[in-house]
């Protein structure tokens, strides 16, 4: 397996699949943050 510089790839918009993968990861990360916020603030709601 080739060594991949992930820090460089994060800012390299020339890679073919980056926009769609980045969009999916951003959406999933946003959902996880919102779930964490809701779970912490409204833990008593059934």
Q: How far apart are the first and last CA of the chain?
A: 47
Q: What is the pLDDT of residue 14?
A: 65
Q: What is the pLDDT of residue 34?
A: 92
Q: What is the DSSP secondary structure assignment for residue 42, as one 8-state letter?
A: -
pTM: predicted TM-score of the whole model, two decimal places:
0.48
Q: Which residue has the tokens 């993968």?
A: 21
Please state, in angstroms and rounded to a whole number, the distance separating the CA atoms of residues 46 and 42. Answer: 9
Please state, in angstroms and rounded to a whole number, the distance separating the CA atoms of residues 46 and 19. Answer: 38
pLDDT 10s digits, 1-46: 567 676 776 676 666 666 777 777 778 888 989 999 999 999 888 7
């Amino acid at each position: 397996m080739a060594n991949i510089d992930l820090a460089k790839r994060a800012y390299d918009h020339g890679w073919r699949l980056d926009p769609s993968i980045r969009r999916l990861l951003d959406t999933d990360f946003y959902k996880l943050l919102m779930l964490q916020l809701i779970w912490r603030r409204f833990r008593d709601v059934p």
